[in-house]
Structure 1
Amino acid sequence: MSQTLNRRHALKYMGVPLMLPLGGTAVAGLLTGCGGGSGDDNTPAPSFASASFVAMAAPSLATPADMARTLVNSTLMVKFSDDSTQGFSLSYAPFFTTGDLVPDGKGGTLLAGGYVDFAGKPIMDTTVADKNRQFFSDSPDGTSLLKLDNASVAGIKGNAVFAVVQFEYTTWAQDGKTDMYGKLPSPIAVLTLDQDPATGKLSLVKYHNVDTAPAMGLWITCGASLSPWGTHLSSEEYEPDAFTIASNAQFKAYSKNLFGSETQANPYHYGHLPEVTVNPDGSGTIKKHYCLGRISHELIQVMPDNRTAIMGDDATNGGFFMFVADKEKDLSAGSLFVAKFGAGFSLDTAAAGAPISWIKLGSATSAEIKALADTLKATDIMDVATTDPLDASFTKIWLGGKVQWVRVKAGMDKAAAFLETHRYAALKGGSMAFTKMEGTTVNAKDKIAYSALQNMQSSMVRGNAAWNEAANITIDKALNAGGVLAHTLSTGQKDTAGGAITSDWVPSLTKTLLIGEDLATADALGNLANPDKIGAPDNLKFSEKLRTLFIGEDSSYHVNNFVWAYNVDTKTLTRLVSMPSGAEATGLGVVDDLNGWTYITSNFQHPGDWGVPLHNVVKATLDPLVRANYKDRFGAQVGYLTGAVTSVKLAKIG
């Protein structure tokens, strides 16, 4: 037993707590001897055993500056096989604030989050006289952190690693009055980062705008995931309705900003899955997959088989979708399925759960669906009525909270399945009943997938106009604070027609894992949901090594949104991060081992996006602070969690 350990036990027995500094090499050096070891050079180095987080308190108006910034006061404790520990006092390290000028790797600069048109020219904000400027996003979102074995980028002193970052939208033009949501083509960038081998710290060396012209531009890119083969899987949510596109002012503005014409953009080119490949020089290329269904893609999670993917569908009357690719590491061809739930769906975490069967909607290649998208109009594919046509050839469905009646044109089932996926899935009997199914992720060891429901309301609530009893997704009262579902993954499954599903990773049973708690009346700060529980979960990522589900919030019910860590073994929920008030937590990602270091990426969107009555108590105090911190509320940040001295490491430091 070492002297350090003896002293710790002596203090314990004397009733005196031992205070240990946390973070980086100092704590690692102090605790190296804890838990035994003879000091013999032949003794094997202790291995990682487990990790746990120590929670931070939610900020309050006692320290308003903390409510107006990204606050991290949490701690990660790592335990090793010899019972010694290593601690990291966590902090937030931004790569940039949108609107910053950042290095382009060629000796010049680019505007971080800046918008460009189809030809790559800056899109200008002219809403303030004599102050024209390039539009830039206040809403960075999905982020993937990765490395390439053959990376070669000038200016790297340590290890070259990369991050792909997408920008969902911008909220306002600079006049503060012109709504820009969904009216600009979403940019996506590759960041080249210099990783210090000694500390794991990351610094930005190069920012590259990916040319999105091969994907016909990008539409409202929200969450993202890193594929098992190292590509960035993006998203396009809230697919524009092709049946009402002629009167869609938002889509006309999008088309005008992208192409210079209000009528050139084709709605069937949007609502799909873009995939970005990073090149060794820090550039990137993009392709869009048209065969994974045209839905409100939040993000997808590809299973360890490199073929099976489950998808979040951020919609009212949304569904739970699955895609099984024909070949590994290739999403350009495969089969699309929608879930049909049996009885048993419940918010009770102790309930048995609801079984899932799968309706096969069709099989296709991306190329053939792209060809259909290029040539077909909505009325070529389906007949749609908004009042009962009193015709038995039509089927009643629920879409976006409203009732419609639909009929597929002869020979158009494939087009309907992949271009009018919401309507077709409902027609075929899918459980199109979820409200805002957001992030998805997988716990491979336990073969459990997770889905976030930002809110559980409207189409899920018995008696609501959007509710369909036959969908078997029913709760008696809305839960605005939402929750997280857990799906058991199984092998040997068949679709509802009896066909074998060629995957060992098929969701077969759904239970509720975690739920938030709505407050009957707002608390003193204005929270409408319990701030010590999850509220409107959105981003989800799972760490196999840490055995932890990370949860980021997009809440209109918490005054500050949080990032949480939920240990699936100990069932402990820990608050890790508080975002600036009014901001959404986005860009959540976790990489267990990147050249020996562990990273949690975390961004935020639209700081100071004040809600009524949510922010009535705090707005007057916090608004000037948020404006000072984040470019008058037009800026937002992209970054990661790190330790005080080094980044996080799950092996002994020093």
Structure 2
Amino acid sequence: MMKKRKILIPLFTLAIIFPSATNVFADPLKPAPVKSVEFIGMEAPNSVLEKSKMYSEASVLVTYNDGNQKTIPLEYKSLLQPGDTINGKIVGAAYDASGKIITNAEGQPIISSAPDSNTLLSVNGKSGKLYMVNHYESFPGNSIGNMPEAMFLNTVEQNKKTGELTVTDISPIDFSSYGGIWTPCAGSLSPWNTHLGSEEYEPDTKAHEANPEKSSVTQFARNYYQDDKILGNPYMYGYVPEVSINPNGTAKAVKHFSMGRLSFENVKVAPDNRTVYYGDDGSYTMAFMYVADKEKDLSAGTLYAAKWIQKNDQNGGSADLEWIKLGHATDAEIKNLAENLTFSDIFETAENAEFGEKNGFERVKTAGRDEWLKVKPGMEKAAAFLESRRYGALQGATSEFNKMETVEMNVADNKMYMTMSNISGGMEANSNDPVDDIQVSKVKAGGVYEMSLTDSQKDRAGEKIDSDYVANEMTGLVFGEDLASKDAAGNTANPEKIASPDNIAYSEKMRTLFIAEDGKMHHNNYGWSYNVDTKKLSRIISAPNGGEVTGIQAIDDLNGFTYLMAGSQGPGNVGYLDGLPSLADKPKK
């Protein structure tokens, strides 16, 4: 075993590394394929030092088909820290439309302390180069949207013997043809090896139109274009960005306007390379599905929104799902509408219930906004794709989900997972809401739902949905537990269960769902493993006090190593690098 090292370094991206179950542990002369992988959890942090850093004391028990077992401690290594300089470039810096770093009044670079979403991938297979796309969600002292956010392409080198990763170069990804990138949150790797990102908390177009000079969109645009006279356009933000990486290390970014406009936490693609499910973050949000016209091409397709038909209210509740077709579009046509329309071009509004009821308006509640709306004649497509949640609610889709976060795919079981970090608000019985589809028991600590995917489904109008991966039911999988009062450690949720689940990632080979927390119900946020077969939940990471665990990505096999990528948003913190198990270690016979 290699000598263990302890190096105090600020932690940004966490890579938990253990040799791949597919080929590293097996002796090439005497193969011993892996039968199962079990995570052995760690205790919650107790000391001031433990609570102030990101660390893991968990391990993995590997059982081989020949009956041998091996316990491997989880290791982590810091890759990047906001403010680091790599190849002359500053990690996490904000850039304007011309590619220059944005500085503050003192001339210092503005640097994000909120890294999110890590997508590590290989270009051209095993022999190709490694890259990682990561997001920076917000900047210190700036509310959502005021400062142009950043998405970076990182060049990564892998030590073929130890599996250690090193970032050798970074570059901001260019979104200047789309007016910049707005609040990029979580992301995922598409089946065709591109990065699918997100633009969370889409700006409210109605509020912007009422006072564009004071709008955060305008502040965003003035910072991005370095022009204090420009007015922003909110319809340019709230989409799914896709980043393709070429073997020469250049990146191309597009925004998929045909996938609708909402508060994207992330999206996940089903095995058909066409059907996509969404995480729509915030209050009074909606479940969406997109079916692309062609495989591996998200530039045109059909958008659907879900109707929750409740079956019971316990353990987060369960329901059948009915899908409502909102429309079909291409990126090009919706981008053109986005560049030329305002909110009042699309909708009429009524300022009070009495006028609305008498004049054919409908009351909807989306993203916490309680409104009376009517779509103007001929504006149905614009409403469907530029105001997807508002239009979906008008069509009868359920807009009562609360703090819906990421979605993730379990291919073998044909399941899609969805996190809800706080099951309350619109998800409770609310007689004063316009509709009350969801009426489930309150769990502020949140939970993870499971959606079953099937074929031969029809939408509400009776039309066949052109997908074999349609979610027809949704039920609770694993939940947190609220405490009646705060415990001695400061927890308001059971520390031995999840709380405020946010990002999730799934490992097909380990049959394990990884769950990252972002909340204040535990005195520290944790990362968990959850085996979908044994139902065993294990704490495997603890984040610094006040920071969230974020940006997780599970990679089953990358040149003989398995990685769990993760990051931490929040206060500055320190971590340490432990020596990795040698590839020479084999199961003892």
TM-score (norm 1): 0.82
The one-letter code of the counterpart of 2:168 is V
Partner residue of 2:54? 70
Inter-CA distance 345–206: structure 2 relative to 1 (3 Å threshold): farther
Is the CA contact 2:55–2:541 (under 8 Å) kept in the aligned structure 1? yes
- Residue 391 of structure 1 and its aligned partner are, at CA, apart by 2.9
Partner residue of 2:222? 256
Partner residue of 2:462? 498
Partner residue of 2:205? 242
1:310 correspondence with 2:296 = no
Inter-CA distance 565–651: structure 2 relative to 1 (3 Å threshold): farther
Q: Structure 1: how far apart are the matches of 2:265 and 2:396?
A: 22
CA deviation digits over 1:567-596, x for unaligned, max 9? Answer: 000000000100011011111101111112
- Residue 150 of structure 1 and its aligned partner are, at CA, apart by 7.4
2:486 match: secondary structure: coil
The one-letter code of the counterpart of 2:324 is I
1:230 correspondence with 2:193 = yes
1:538 correspondence with 2:513 = no
Partner residue of 2:41? 55
Inter-CA distance 284–212: structure 2 relative to 1 (3 Å threshold): same
Inter-CA distance 424–650: structure 2 relative to 1 (3 Å threshold): farther
Partner residue of 1:5? none
Residue 556 of structure 1, aligned match among 520, 525, 528: 520
Inter-CA distance 355–651: structure 2 relative to 1 (3 Å threshold): farther
Partner residue of 1:634? none
Is the CA contact 1:408–1:416 (under 8 Å) kept in the aligned structure 2? yes
1:322 correspondence with 2:301 = no
1:542 match: secondary structure: strand
CA deviation digits over 1:458-500, x for unaligned, max 9? Answer: 11121375x4544x21124x32111111001111001111111
Residue 418 of structure 1, aligned match among 385, 401, 415: 385
The one-letter code of the counterpart of 2:440 is I
Inter-CA distance 548–24: structure 2 relative to 1 (3 Å threshold): closer
Partner residue of 2:67? 83
- Residue 652 of structure 1 and its aligned partner are, at CA, apart by 6.4
CA deviation digits over 1:378-429, x for unaligned, max 9? Answer: 1111112342223342111112224211100000100000001111000000
Partner residue of 1:212? 175
1:377 correspondence with 2:361 = no
Inter-CA distance 180–393: structure 2 relative to 1 (3 Å threshold): closer
1:518 match: secondary structure: coil
- Residue 342 of structure 1 and its aligned partner are, at CA, apart by 1.1
Q: Structure 1: how far apart are the matches of 2:26 and 2:559?
A: 22
1:645 correspondence with 2:580 = yes
Is the CA contact 1:171–1:181 (under 8 Å) kept in the aligned structure 2? no
CA deviation digits over 1:194-234, x for unaligned, max 9? Answer: 11111211111111211121232000000100000000000
Which deviates the most, 259-268 or 91-100? 259-268
- Residue 653 of structure 1 and its aligned partner are, at CA, apart by 11
Is the CA contact 2:203–2:238 (under 8 Å) kept in the aligned structure 1? yes
Q: Structure 1: how far apart are the matches of 2:312 and 2:586?
A: 42
The one-letter code of the counterpart of 1:583 is G
Partner residue of 1:117? 96
Is the CA contact 1:78–1:650 (under 8 Å) kept in the aligned structure 2? no
Cα RMSD, aligned residues only = 2.5
Q: Structure 1: how far apart are the matches of 2:205 and 2:417?
A: 31
Partner residue of 2:22? none
Inter-CA distance 159–420: structure 2 relative to 1 (3 Å threshold): closer
Partner residue of 2:3? none
TM-score (norm 2): 0.91
2:80 match: secondary structure: strand
Greater relative contact order, per chain length (Cα 8 Å cut-off, separation 6+): 2
- Residue 77 of structure 1 and its aligned partner are, at CA, apart by 1.7
Is the CA contact 1:642–1:648 (under 8 Å) kept in the aligned structure 2? no
Is the CA contact 1:540–1:549 (under 8 Å) kept in the aligned structure 2? yes
The one-letter code of the counterpart of 2:75 is S
1:197 correspondence with 2:160 = yes
1:488 match: secondary structure: strand
CA deviation digits over 1:262-287, x for unaligned, max 9? Answer: 64321001000100111212231101
Partner residue of 1:221? 184
Partner residue of 1:7? none
The one-letter code of the counterpart of 2:155 is T
1:354 correspondence with 2:354 = no
The one-letter code of the counterpart of 1:645 is L
Residues 516-595 of structure 1 aligned to structure 2 (within 5 Å) = 516-595=480-559
2:98 match: secondary structure: coil
Is the CA contact 1:579–1:604 (under 8 Å) kept in the aligned structure 2? yes
Q: Structure 2: how far apart are the matches of 1:113 and 1:436?
A: 26
Partner residue of 1:140? 115
Partner residue of 1:168? 137
1:125 match: secondary structure: coil
- Residue 180 of structure 1 and its aligned partner are, at CA, apart by 4.2
CA deviation digits over 1:509-533, x for unaligned, max 9? Answer: 1101111111121111211211111
Inter-CA distance 147–446: structure 2 relative to 1 (3 Å threshold): same
Q: Structure 2: how far apart are the matches of 1:498 and 1:135?
A: 53
Inter-CA distance 561–386: structure 2 relative to 1 (3 Å threshold): farther
Partner residue of 2:474? 510
The one-letter code of the counterpart of 1:561 is N
The one-letter code of the counterpart of 1:280 is P
- Residue 650 of structure 1 and its aligned partner are, at CA, apart by 12
Inter-CA distance 439–24: structure 2 relative to 1 (3 Å threshold): closer
1:124 match: secondary structure: coil
Partner residue of 1:182? 145
Identify unmatched segments of 5+ residues in structure 1: 1-22, 26-30, 34-40, 104-108, 152-157, 173-178, 608-625, 631-636
Is the CA contact 1:252–1:262 (under 8 Å) kept in the aligned structure 2? no
Inter-CA distance 647–451: structure 2 relative to 1 (3 Å threshold): farther
- Residue 171 of structure 1 and its aligned partner are, at CA, apart by 3.0
Q: Structure 2: how far apart are the matches of 1:342 and 1:181?
A: 34
Is the CA contact 1:53–1:75 (under 8 Å) kept in the aligned structure 2? yes
CA deviation digits over 1:230-254, x for unaligned, max 9? Answer: 0000000111111110435422321
2:216 match: secondary structure: helix
Is the CA contact 1:598–1:649 (under 8 Å) kept in the aligned structure 2? no
Q: Structure 1: how far apart are the matches of 2:582 and 2:129?
A: 16
- Residue 80 of structure 1 and its aligned partner are, at CA, apart by 1.3
Inter-CA distance 283–651: structure 2 relative to 1 (3 Å threshold): farther
Identify unmatched segments of 5+ residues in structure 2: 1-16, 20-24
Is the CA contact 2:179–2:221 (under 8 Å) kept in the aligned structure 1? no
Please identify the structure whose Cα radius of gyration is greater.
1
Partner residue of 1:289? 256
Is the CA contact 2:26–2:33 (under 8 Å) kept in the aligned structure 1? no
Partner residue of 1:598? 562
Question: Number of matched residues?
Answer: 563
1:95 match: secondary structure: coil
Inter-CA distance 208–649: structure 2 relative to 1 (3 Å threshold): farther
The one-letter code of the counterpart of 2:223 is N
Residue 244 of structure 2, aligned match among 245, 252, 277: 277
CA deviation digits over 1:612-652, x for unaligned, max 9? Answer: xxxxxxxxxxxxxx5xx47xxxxxx9xxx997424999996
Inter-CA distance 579–149: structure 2 relative to 1 (3 Å threshold): same
Residue 394 of structure 1, aligned match among 361, 371, 375: 361
Q: Structure 1: how far apart are the matches of 2:541 and 2:103?
A: 34
1:214 match: secondary structure: helix
